Amino acid sequence: MSKPINMRRCIVCRQVKHKSELLRVVKTADNFSLDLTGKQDGRGAYVCKSQDCVASLMKRRNLDKVFKTKLPDKLYDMIKEQVHM
């Protein structure tokens, strides 16, 4: 039996993609971080590694809406750096 394919939905474009094609932002008990391994504990939200999705994410601040709190600008900058914008 083969391994299941881990599919996740981008919070910006709403497309379902393989987990490896997305960046994961995770909320732990005390802070927010960018999860590059995809295995950190906590509530996660996924965004495409495309410049269009990241630009829209920064403009609309989708992560603030998903996590129902204001996230630091530093986290948005870290996401931007991962996509090389």
Burial class (CB in 10 A: 0-12, 13-18, 19+), 53: buried
Sign of CA dihedral 21, 46, 48, 4: positive
Largest CA distance in the chain: 44
Question: What is the structure's pLDDT at 30?
Answer: 86
Model confidence at 7: pLDDT above 90: yes
pLDDT in tens, 24-59: 999 988 899 999 888 899 999 999 999 999 999 999
Q: Which two tokens stand for residue 67?
A: 């996590």
Range of 78's domain?
A: 7-83
Residues 6+ apart with CB under 8 A from 6: 18, 19
40: domain CATH number is 3.30.1230.10
Question: Does a structural domain hold residue 1?
Answer: no
Question: Does a structural domain hold residue 73?
Answer: yes
Q: Which amino acid is at 23?
A: L
Across all residues in the chain, what is the average pLDDT? Answer: 92
